[in-house]
């Protein structure tokens, strides 16, 4: 894909994605093989880590010598600005599972957010920062994050053009999470199941109104 074509997004399971576009390869939350997801080392220029748990910080799964960002605040990398927004992994101010970072950035002209292991409903101030984006990757599997009902409510508030569910139970996943079906039953937008990876996101392919794109992990 050339720099002007848009983005290519690959899901590897759990909350791990490779987002390619604009001459950059960004990996979010590289997951450990302990989660049941197997993959060859993934080349990346930049790695974004939402929190320091084994299923989100497996940098051994990344090839090359990428820059790693694992803190909130504003970060610069080559031609892009990344905003790390502080949030929590639970509804008790992080007392149960600690902090979580939501990442927001613009890549190849597309506004993207990865919500990490969000375990709370964000404040109105945070919602305002990440509403109306092109692509949002959101946990929906409950247990350790927001569950299907909470995710559906938040999705309605954020209304991205493309919502990509993550962090839910699959046949490969060893972590006890809810299945995607729980979220789909409550889905506030039409659901599109993508059969091949990576999925290409271009202006021509961008839906006019919000859609949920369920990606394959293998």
- Structural contact between residues 96 and 104, judged by C-beta atoms closer than 8 angstroms: no
Q: What is the structure's pLDDT at 2?
A: 40
Quick: pLDDT tens for 157-182: 999 999 999 999 999 999 999 999 99
Mean pLDDT of the chain, nearest integer: 92
Q: Residue 2: inside a domain, yes or no?
A: no
Total domain count for the chain?
1
Q: Residue 43: inside a domain, yes or no?
A: yes
DSSP 8: E
Q: What is the structure's pLDDT at 3?
A: 45
Q: Residue 1: inside a domain, yes or no?
A: no
DSSP 169: B
Domain CATH for 40? 3.60.15.10
* CA–CA gap between residue 57 and residue 150 (Å, rounded): 25
* CA–CA gap between residue 24 and residue 41 (Å, rounded): 17
* CA–CA gap between residue 119 and residue 99 (Å, rounded): 9
Q: Residue 34: inside a domain, yes or no?
A: yes
Supply the pTM of this predicted model: 0.94
Q: CA distances (Å), 154 to each of 12, 26, 51, 121, 135, in order?
A: 23, 25, 21, 7, 14
* CA–CA gap between residue 106 and residue 80 (Å, rounded): 7
Quick: pLDDT tens for 15-65: 999 999 999 999 999 999 999 999 999 999 999 999 878 777 999 999 989
Quick one: average pLDDT of 209-218?
96
Domain range holding 96?
7-214
* CA–CA gap between residue 80 and residue 132 (Å, rounded): 19
Q: Residue 178: inside a domain, yes or no?
A: yes
């Amino acid at each position: 894909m050339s720099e002007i074509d848009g983005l290519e997004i690959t899901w590897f399971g759990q909350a791990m994605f490779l987002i390619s576009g604009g001459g950059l390869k960004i990996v979010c939350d590289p997951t450990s093989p302990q989660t049941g997801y197997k993959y060859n080392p993934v080349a990346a220029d930049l790695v974004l880590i939402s929190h320091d748990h084994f299923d989100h910080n497996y940098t051994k799964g990344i090839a090359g010598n990428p820059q790693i960002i694992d803190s909130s605040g504003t970060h610069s990398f080559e031609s892009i600005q990344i905003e790390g927004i502080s949030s929590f992994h639970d509804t008790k101010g992080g007392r149960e599972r600690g902090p979580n970072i939501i990442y927001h950035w613009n890549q190849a002209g597309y506004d993207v957010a990865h919500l990490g292991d969000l375990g709370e409903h964000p404040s109105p101030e945070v919602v305002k920062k990440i509403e109306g984006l092109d692509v949002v990757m959101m946990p929906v599997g409950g247990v350790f994050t927001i569950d299907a009902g909470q995710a559906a409510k938040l999705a309605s508030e954020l209304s991205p053009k493309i919502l990509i569910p993550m962090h839910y139970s699959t046949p490969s996943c060893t972590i006890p999470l809810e299945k995607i079906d729980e979220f789909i039953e409550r889905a506030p937008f039409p659901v599109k199941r993508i059969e091949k990876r990576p999925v290409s996101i271009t202006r021509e392919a961008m839906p006019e109104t919000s859609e949920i794109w369920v990606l394959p992990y293998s």
